[in-house]
Structure 1
């Protein structure tokens, strides 16, 4: 038995991780963190874009309600203006066009952030012509 004990005593004790294993684990962890940070950034950018679209759609709906309620003689002219929604200013344009049916008008509404030509929301509706 003493020979067996000597063999165990000479064998080095292998506890813990080697330096290479620690570096590989740290690299994997760093890649995971970078992926999560990228995901968080994309989520923030998406939330901002959705907020802009929703607010612009509210402005378009407001202009559409006005277009449906005013006298059609006043509606015949194209119009543009600005409105505030969500603490932001928005520019809108309203164009009116005749359709193949003489009793209907097509009203197109576009909403843009101020100082930009990018359309944030657009809406088309049809309205009957008063006789």
Structure 2
């Protein structure tokens, strides 16, 4: 009668395969978490730039001209491109102001729409 102790080679290979799959899943999860954190940070900074541009349009002594205008702003160690579109509404005393912000060379990451009265 022989006493068996330990694992067979096949059992060790299966255990290593399962452990490897688990480690790969954790590495992928960590990478995805980093990508999501970066995306959330970009949306936050883009929103701040959009709000700043909207506030400038609202508080300027003279209402902004109709049409589209653009520029750049630096925030969070990054350069952001913004566009501000001013259009009329059905009420002649109110302007619609849309501000969109994107990282340089990227797609829109933040957007704000405000209304301004015209005296």
Among 103, 112, 116, the alignment partner of 1:127 is 116
Which structure carries more relative contact order (alpha carbon 8 Å, separation 6+)?
Answer: 2
TM-score between the two structures when normalised by the length of structure 2: 0.93
- Correspondence list, 1:41-52, <5 A: 41-52=31-42
Partners of 1:39 and 1:87 in 2: CA distance = 26
Runs of 4+ that moved beyond 6 A: none
Among 61, 72, 76, the alignment partner of 2:65 is 76
Higher helix share: 1
- Correspondence list, 1:2-41, <5 A: 11-41=1-31
Deviation of 1:27 (Å): 0.5
Deviation of 1:82 (Å): 0.9
Partners of 2:106 and 2:4 in 1: CA distance = 67
Q: How many residues align?
A: 118
TM-score between the two structures when normalised by the length of structure 1: 0.85
Q: How large is the RMSD of aligned CA atoms in angstroms?
A: 1.2
Higher strand share: 2
- Structure 1: state its 5+ residue gaps: 1-10
